[in-house]
Amino acid sequence: MSKKQAKLIAVCSAVGGTGRTTITVNLATAFAKRGLKVGIVDGDLQFGDIAMALDVQPSLTLKEISERSDVDNIRLYYTNHPSGIQLLAAPTRPEFADIIDNAIFQAGIEATKEYMDITIVETQAGLQEKALEVMEKADEILLVTTPAMHVLKNTKLMIETIEALGMKEKITVVVNKAGGSSVMKRSKLVDILGVDRLVVLPADSKHVNESLDLGQPLVVTHPKHIFTKEMESVATTLTGEKTSRQKKFYLFQPKRLVGDNQ
């Protein structure tokens, strides 16, 4: 992918608990499987869990970049994942979020874009200043919600706000944790939210929670799962590339090898 084609994707939500981190790490891994250079910026500055979800332990985070005003050396602050994903991690403690200047945060995103084919920024829930600026710069906004009515209500309000800011065409709504007790059909969700692009992901707390606990994205550990197929479809749509171009992909864990042939 040329730098002209490089993408910035914002993963957002109106409220917490929708599964932004799950979407971020699985989508990033799906891109990495295609041989793309992928960077993640964990913009959930108080309670970011990307490092845990990828089973890495950052020695440097956005806190250190901000303290040192060292955006020019951004690559020194990445945490490398075996998949090839480069993570710019959130601070290790919530009180450190106040240290991170917005100008440094945004400059870190811009600098990361220079080295990556795909940069994914997981924002904090809601419409804070940092999140809004990321959405303005993004090529795509993945707005993560669930079928719960109170969450849909707030998601609808967020869509209306984004539309008022002239960014609605960027939005793809990702309805996570669908099924089970949910009675909402896809067509009804489209009507309620007033969007054209909508992806529905199945509820599977057992496998999803297990993948987060292990630090192994579901798209690797369960390549035939319906969740994986939907995430691969999203990745294909966003890149325009064929799934047949995916490379063989492995992650190492103690005592076993996890890969596409499992």
Neighbours of 132 (CB within 10 A): 18
Q: Which two tokens stand for residue 166?
A: 């002239």
Give me the pLDDT at residue 220, please. 92
What is the percentage of the chain residues whose pLDDT exceeds 70? 88
* Cα 63 from Cα 157, distance rounded (Å): 32
6 or 138, greater pLDDT: 138
Quick one: CA dihedral 178, 179, 182, 185, positive or negative? Answer: positive
Which two three-digit tokens encode residue 237? 């749509």
**What CA–CA distance (Å, rounded) separates 82 from 216?**
11
32-36, 75-79, 88-92, 201-205 — which is least confidently predicted? 201-205
Q: What is the pLDDT of residues 202-222, one digit of tens each?
A: 888 888 888 888 899 999 999
Q: What is the mean pLDDT of residues 171-196?
A: 84
Residue 121 above 60 pLDDT? yes
What pLDDT, on the 0 to 100 scale, is given for residue 186? 81
Beta bridge partners of 198: 173
**What's the pLDDT band for 255 if we cut at 50, 70, 90?**
very low
Q: What is the pLDDT of residue 180?
A: 57
What's the mean per-residue pLDDT of the chain?
Answer: 88
Average pLDDT over residues 32-42: 96
Q: Which amino acid is at 163?
A: E
pTM for the structure as a whole: 0.89
Whole-angstrom distance, CA of residue 197 vs CA of residue 142: 10
Kindly report, residue by residue over 218-241, the tens digit of the pLDDT: 999 999 999 999 999 999 999 876
- For 207, other C-beta atoms within 10 Å of its C-beta total 15
